[in-house]
Structure 1
Amino acid sequence: MPEALRLYVRSVDALNQGIGRIVMYGVFVMAAILLWSSISKTFFLPSLWTLEMAQFAMVAYYVLGGPYSIQLGSNVRMDLFYGDWSPKKKAWFDAFTVFLLMFYLGVLLYGAVESTLYSFQYNERSPTAWRPVLWPIKVTMCVGFTLMLLQALSEFIKDIARIRGEEI
């Protein structure tokens, strides 16, 4: 493999690993928000922001943690046949199917960018009683989809290397 591709794979993997290791603690943020929601509903006045903030935290956790999950190979697969295949056959299959993933992520990114631009242009707010602006979570989604696309390309390069009998 050319050194430029090796550098790309190492850089994208390092970036997504760093972000993923930080974002994985988002589960505690969500738990704290939901705990406060339960406490405030039981002992005080219910908070208007807790449910929606927990949803925003979940989106950030899921979208920003996705590339790290792909990198670790902890994404869900149907192992009916895949589990019995040789590493080279798995690499061929993964190299083919990653194009479907990249197409899907491209469509998601296109929609997210359009929605984010709309959100900035009209200062879009949630139609709930709390009424937070929506652009921060939409920007987070755009960043997450971009990172996932970069990671999918990295995985494609690693699959091609495996097919050629190399490791990156």
Structure 2
Amino acid sequence: MPRFLVTYVHFIEAVTRRLGRFAMYLLYVMMAIMVWSMITKFAHIPALWTLEMAQFTLVAYYMLGAPWTMQSEVNVRMDLVYARFTHKGRALTDALTVFFLMTYLGIMLYGAFDSTVYSFEVGERNPTAWRPVLWPLKTIITFSFALMLLQATALLIRDIATLRGEKI
């Protein structure tokens, strides 16, 4: 494989790994928010922001962790037939099916980007009592879809290298 493709794969996977490791800790942030919510409810001074903030943190946790899940290959797969393939057979199957994934991610990225731009332009807020702005969350979602698309490209390059008998 050309050196720039190997460098691309290593760079994207390093970014994905670090971001995924960071996202792991967002679960603790969400737990702290929920504990604070319980404390304020017991004190009869419920905070309006806790439920939405926990939901936003969960979205960030899920979306920022998704590219690392793709890289680690711990995503759900139908192994009924796939598990019986050889290493190169799996690489060929992955190389063919990644185009469907990339198409889906491209469409989702387009929609997320459009929604994020709209959110910035109009100062979109959630229609609740707390009324938080939505552009930070939508920016995270857009960034995550972009990184998933880059990670899917890195997986395609790895699969092509496997088919060529090379190792990245």
- TM-score with structure 2 setting the length: 0.97
CA displacement 1:20-67 (0-9 Å, x = unmatched): 111111111111111111221122311111111011101111111111
Aligned to 1:118: 118
CA distance in 2, matches of 1:150, 1:20: 14
Aligned to 1:97: 97
CA distance in 2, matches of 1:80, 1:123: 48
Determine helix, strand or coil for the equivalent of 1:10: helix
Deviating 4+ runs (over 2 angstroms) = none
Aligned to 2:167: 167
CA distance in 2, matches of 1:87, 1:36: 49
Aligned to 1:152: 152
CA displacement 1:59-112 (0-9 Å, x = unmatched): 111111111111111111011111121111110110011111111111111111
CA distance in 1, matches of 2:139, 2:46: 29
CA distance in 2, matches of 1:132, 1:145: 22
Q: Number of residue pairs matched?
A: 168
CA distance in 1, matches of 2:44, 2:162: 58
CA RMSD, aligned part only?
Answer: 0.8
Aligned to 2:67: 67
Bigger Cα displacement from structure 2, 79-88 vs 152-161: 79-88
Q: Does structure 1 residue 23 correspond to structure 2 residue 23?
A: yes
Read off the aligned partner of 1:127 and give its amino acid letter: P
Unaligned runs of 5+ in 2: none
CA distance in 1, matches of 2:113, 2:79: 34
CA distance in 2, matches of 1:17, 1:133: 29
Q: Work out the percentage of aligned pairs sharing the same amino acid.
A: 55
